[in-house]
Amino acid sequence: MRLILLGPPGAGKGTQAQRLVQRHGIVQLSTGDMLRAAVAAQTPTGLIAKDIMASGGLVPDEVVVSIIADRIEQDDAKNGFILDGFPRTVPQAEALDALLKKKKLKLDAVIELRVNESALLARVEKRVAEMLERGESVRADDTPEVLSKRLANYREQTEPLVHHYSDKRKLITIDGMMPIEEVTAEIERVLAAVTKADETTQAAKRKVAAKRAASPSKAPKAAKKTSSKGAKAKVKSKAKSKARRVVKKATKKVAKKAIGKAAKKVSKSSSATRGGSKKKAAKAAGNRTGRAAKAVAGRGRKAAKKVAKRRSKPAKRLTKRR
């Protein structure tokens, strides 16, 4: 499972992330924690981040994006992760989209913890008091002045991510003002629904793939193409053979007429021709008859082509509309 926890400072992201880690066996990737570790270790990243963090500003996008790109590559993140405090700007979200796409990883949900801003200051003050009680060192950016700057940054730079992820149909908003246990229960309830919906989609996809594998001839696109091509050819050849039959009939009729006429002429000329044999006259008449038949056949072929063309036109229109 891959999740993003979205919410202003003090919304309870850290607390809920730890509960998700225990329940789902996935890792919490908090850019705030990683940057604090870098500051403590005085790494080059830590040196860049130190003053920015202390003043409540945002560390440059390219720095945090490269930290996350390296971190999700590690073995413990293979099972899934919860991003806590990242992304915080639209460019960071876009970089994450590209990163996940490149690695063919799916984001399951973005959980937004919505809280009342006026309640946040009280929450942070309570957190500071509890840390001091436990003898822990207090974060340099957990003061009222820095907190108001972090809140302003959230409103301006991070809140637009609500639209980014709701456009992608990934956003789930939960009332972060409820008691911690209720927030946890609500997160678990929506995650169960997300998992179930995902399983249903996967099962439907497998069913379609199995159906296609069982009868490849029913592959929709190819079938459409083949059937439309086949239908077109069928109509064309039917029209052609009908036209041929019509022409043949007409040719026979004309030839018969011509032969009759020629025969009459032959009988006339044979009686008139001195020395000319009946056979010769008949041959001449036959030649004339043959020429007439040929001419008719020629015209007939042209007609046949025309008819075939006309007949094939509706078929063309039919396939186009489809």
Annotated catalytic residues are: 13, 88, 127, 139, 150
Using the rule CB under 6 A, which residue among 16, 28, 31, 251 binds ligand AMP? 31
By CB under 6 A, which span of 31-39, 107-115, 229-237, 298-306 interacts with ligand AMP?
31-39
What order do you get walking across the sheet with 2-6 strand by strand?
A: 27-30, 81-84, 2-6, 109-114, 171-175
Task: Supply the minimum distance, in Å, between the C-beta of residue 171 and ligand AMP.
Answer: 18
Residue 72 interacts with ligand AMP (CB under 6 A): yes or no: no
Residue 59 interacts with ligand AMP (CB under 6 A): yes or no: yes
By CB under 6 A, which span of 28-36, 125-133, 162-170, 197-205 interacts with ligand AMP?
28-36
Task: Compute CA 7 distance to the chain's CA centroid, rounded to the nearest angstrom.
Answer: 30
By CB under 6 A, which span of 50-58, 159-167, 203-211, 262-270 interacts with ligand AMP?
50-58
Using the rule CB under 6 A, which residue among 12, 32, 176, 300 binds ligand AMP? 32
Q: Binding-site residue total for ligand AMP (CB under 6 A)?
A: 17
Nearer to ligand AMP among residue 85 and residue 300 (C-beta) = 85
Nearer to ligand AMP among residue 73 and residue 199 (C-beta) = 73
Task: Supply the minimum distance, in Å, between the C-beta of residue 13 and ligand AMP.
Answer: 7
Nearer to ligand AMP among residue 109 and residue 150 (C-beta) = 150
Q: Is 202 annotated as a binding residue?
A: no
H helix intervals, the chain: 13-24, 31-40, 44-55, 61-71, 90-102, 117-133, 144-153, 161-167, 180-214, 220-272, 278-321
DSSP 157: I
Cα–Cα distance for residue pair 109/69, rounded to 1 Å: 19
Cα–Cα distance for residue pair 173/175, rounded to 1 Å: 7
Prior bond to 314 cis, omega within 30? no
Q: What is the CA radius of gyration of the chain?
A: 43
| Neighbour-count burial for 131-148, b at 16+ CB within 10 Å, e otherwise | eeeeeeeebebbbeebbe
Q: Is 251 annotated as a binding residue?
A: no
By CB under 6 A, which span of 55-63, 124-132, 222-230, 307-315 interacts with ligand AMP?
55-63
Task: Supply the minimum distance, in Å, between the C-beta of residue 47 and ligand AMP.
Answer: 14
Pairing of strands 171-175, 27-30: unpaired
Cα–Cα distance for residue pair 320/322, rounded to 1 Å: 5
- The contact pattern for ligand AMP, residues 80-109, with x = CB under 6 A and - = no contact, is -----xx-x---x-----------------
**Residues of this chain that bind ligand AMP (CB under 6 A):** 9, 31-32, 35, 52-53, 56-59, 64, 85-86, 88, 92, 141, 150
